[in-house]
């Protein structure tokens, strides 16, 4: 099937879906509220098959330094702004920046609507109501760059916190730390703000479905997750919905296939996160 799609949101999920649909011959328009792509230098180590990357030695440690597991894994090391720019280039000249969508009527006239408008999704609110609005939870993720080099990708977990460090191409070390309770780092935030960035964690009630009629939700609009898991899940959503639309004969059947393929997997990730960090 070939048709027309409007994508709300020029994040990873929206741009990746637009790029893949264009590969299948679809006519795509992406609407983004911001004036342009962010210039963020947040470092990322993303173990997503969809992104590829070289093999790295990966170590998992307990908080006291004991090794839980180690081996090799394909990891894409990049930064968030560069990742978005790559998807933007792949999607082509289809993004309209500075468009603030506040009503679903603004998205009419296309065969399918893909809502990738983030944790505070306008489309999710319109479809499912305020009962599925995101709420902040007791946790946050901090990102930064250190000058001390490391040779492997290392994850340390314990005491309701997680630290991931990984080698950057320039010899420095990228890191991000997630804590169950943001007050753990409360006294650090002023100093961290000079060299790093941080994101609050949000959760919403699990949605009963990720597609309604000709509308599908992707990424954080469907399932707010922590940054690393959320990015991988967003890419999986983008590929799954584009592949389903390209191979089905009708949009409703395609979106039903997408919902069945992605909802249980994403909600399983959410349960794992809740167990790992005891988020309430």
CA–CA gap between residue 95 and residue 167 (Å, rounded):
33
Confidence of residue 268 (pLDDT cuts 50, 70, 90): confident
Task: Please check whether residue 224 is in contact with residue 204, taking contact to mean a CB–CB distance below 8 angstroms.
Answer: yes
How many Cβ atoms sit within 10 Å of the Cβ of residue 176?
24
CA distances from 120 to 125, 133, 136, 217 (A): 8, 7, 11, 12
pTM of this structure: 0.86
CA–CA gap between residue 186 and residue 163 (Å, rounded):
17
**pLDDT tens digits, 114-173:** 999 998 999 999 999 999 988 876 667 788 889 989 989 998 887 777 888 999 988 999
**pLDDT tens digits, 13-69:** 999 999 999 999 999 999 999 999 987 778 888 888 778 888 888 888 887 888 889
CA–CA gap between residue 109 and residue 93 (Å, rounded):
20
CA–CA gap between residue 29 and residue 96 (Å, rounded):
8
How many Cβ atoms sit within 10 Å of the Cβ of residue 245?
28
């Amino acid at each position: 099937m070939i048709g027309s799609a409007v994508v709300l949101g020029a994040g990873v999920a929206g741009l990746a879906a637009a790029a893949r649909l264009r590969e299948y011959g679809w006519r795509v328009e992406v609407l983004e509220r911001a004036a342009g792509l962010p210039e963020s230098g947040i470092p990322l180590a993303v173990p997503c098959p969809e992104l590829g990357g070289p093999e790295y030695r990966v170590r998992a440690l307990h908080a006291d330094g004991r090794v839980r597991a180690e081996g090799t894994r394909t990891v894409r090391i990049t930064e968030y702004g560069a990742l978005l720019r790559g998807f933007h280039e792949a999607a082509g000249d289809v993004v309209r920046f500075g468009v603030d969508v506040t009503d679903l009527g603004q998205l009419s006239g296309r065969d399918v609507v893909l809502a990738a408008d983030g944790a505070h999704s306008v489309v999710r609110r319109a479809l499912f109501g305020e009962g599925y609005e995101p709420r902040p939870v007791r946790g946050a993720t901090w990102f930064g760059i250190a000058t001390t080099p490391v040779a492997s990708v290392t994850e340390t977990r314990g005491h309701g916190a997680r630290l991931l460090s990984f080698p950057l191409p320039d010899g420095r070390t990228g890191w991000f730390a997630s804590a169950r309770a943001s007050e753990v780092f409360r006294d650090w935030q002023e100093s961290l703000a000079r060299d790093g960035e941080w994101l609050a964690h949000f959760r919403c009630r699990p949605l009963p479905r990720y597609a309604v009629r000709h509308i599908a939700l992707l990424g954080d609009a469907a399932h707010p997750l922590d940054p690393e898991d959320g990015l991988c899940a967003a890419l999986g959503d983008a590929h799954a919905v584009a592949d389903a639309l390209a191979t089905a004969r009708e949009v409703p059947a395609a979106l039903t296939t997408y919902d069945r393929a992605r909802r249980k997997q994403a909600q399983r990730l959410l349960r794992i996160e809740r167990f790992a960090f005891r988020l309430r």
